[in-house]
Amino acid sequence: MLKHRIYKALGFLPVFFTLGLFAWSFSAYYTHVAPLIHERSAVLGVLWTGGISALLLLALWSYAVCVARNPGNPPLRSRTVFSHGGGNSMPAIRVANASANDLSVRHRSGSDSDASDDDTTALTSEQLLQTQLIHTITVKDNGEPRFCLKCNVPKPDRAHHCSTCNVCVLKMDHHCPWLNNCVGFRTQKAFVLFLVYTAIYALVVFVATLVYYALHALDLPGDELIALSPVFMMLLAAAFSLCLFGFGGFHVYLMLTNTTTLESYEGNKFRRVQKKNLNLFDLGCAKNFKQVFGHHWPHWFLPTHTSLGDGIRYPINFESYNMAMQ
C-alpha cells in the first residue's frame, strides 16, 4: 500500500507540469502578444483576449475534473441498480457483495488483461454466484464470466482493472499519466472536452502570436530583437495543436462509435455471439454521442457529469445482435 501511495503521489508531477505550461503560455501571451493586438484595435484586443481566456478556463475546468473525479468503480455492496436506454434498456439488476476482502486489500499488481487475471485461476462457488447476480453480455475469451481476482468483484460490462490505480474502473478507456487518473465512465466527457478546448486554445494562441509578431517584426528597428518567450510559445502551440487535434479526433471517433481505447485494441467477447469484431454497444452516432454528453445541449459544453446510465449496464444494438445470431 505504501508503494502504491508513493507512485500515486509522484504521479502528480505531470499534472503540475501541465498546469505550469498553461500558466506560462497565458502569461507569455498576455505580456507580449495581447498589447500588440490592443494597439491596433482595442475592440479586437478585448474580443481576442477574452476568447482565449474563456478557452483556457474551460480547458482548466475540464482538466481539473479529469484529475479529481473518480471515473467510476463497480459497487461493493449489494443493491439494485437500474439501467437506461429506453427500448434498449435491460431489467433492473442485483449487484453482488464484495466479501470481506474489501478494496483496502488490493495489494496484488498486474496488468488489466482478463487472461492474466482470470483464466489461470478457477473461480470459487461464491465467486461464480456473484457473477450470476450481475447479468452481463460480455464474457472472457473462453466464455466464462468476467471476474476481478484483485478486487474480488464481478466485472460489469466494459469494466477493466487498472494496475496503476489498483482498482476496477467502469467503462475504462485508458490510464492517463498526464491526469494521474483513469479515463472512464464518469470522466470520458470531461476528457473529450479537455482535448477539444486545449487543441483550440493552442491553435488560437499560435495564430495570434504568428500574425501579430510577424507584423510587429516589420516595425522593429534593425538592432532590436524579438522576445524569445512568445517565439517558443508559438512553436509549442503549433506542436500541441497538431498533436491534440489528432488525438482529440481519435477520441471523438471512439465516442461516436461507442468504443473505448481498450476495446479498439482488444474488442469484446459477447455471450452466445461467435462473430468477431462486433460492437453491440454501437447505437449510431447520435445516440452514442448522447450516451456520453446527455440529452440537453446547454450542458454539452461544460465538463459536468451528464452521461446517461450508471456505468454498469449499457443498451445494445439489437439489430446487430439479431444479425449476428442468424
168 is annotated as an active-site residue: no
Q: Which of 197, 185, 195 is nearest to 305 (CA)?
A: 185
- Grid-cell match 496503476, residue found: 164
Q: CA dihedral defined by 70, 75, 80, 85, rounded to 10 degrees?
A: 50
Cell numbers placing 5: 501511495
Cα(162)–Cα(11) distance, rounded to whole angstroms? 14
Phi first, then psi, for residue 64 (nearest 5°) are -60, -40
For the chain, the helix, strand and coil percentages under 3-state DSSP, each to the nearest 5: 55, 10, 40
Which is catalytic among the residues 176, 182, 243, 285?
Answer: 176
Report the greatest alpha carbon distance in the chain.
83
Cα(269)–Cα(141) distance, rounded to whole angstroms? 6
DSSP symbol at 304: S
Given a contact cutoff of 8 angstroms between Cβ atoms, the answer to whether 227 and 32 are in contact is yes
Cell numbers placing 52: 482565449
Q: Which region, left, alpha or beta, applies to residue 67 given φ > 0 means left and ψ of -120 to 50 means alpha?
A: alpha
Given a contact cutoff of 8 angstroms between Cβ atoms, the answer to whether 192 and 292 are in contact is yes
Given a contact cutoff of 8 angstroms between Cβ atoms, the answer to whether 313 and 80 are in contact is no
Cα(188)–Cα(307) distance, rounded to whole angstroms? 9
Query: Helix 188-219 crosses helix 228-256 at what angle (to 10 degrees)?
Result: 150
Residues designated as active site: 176
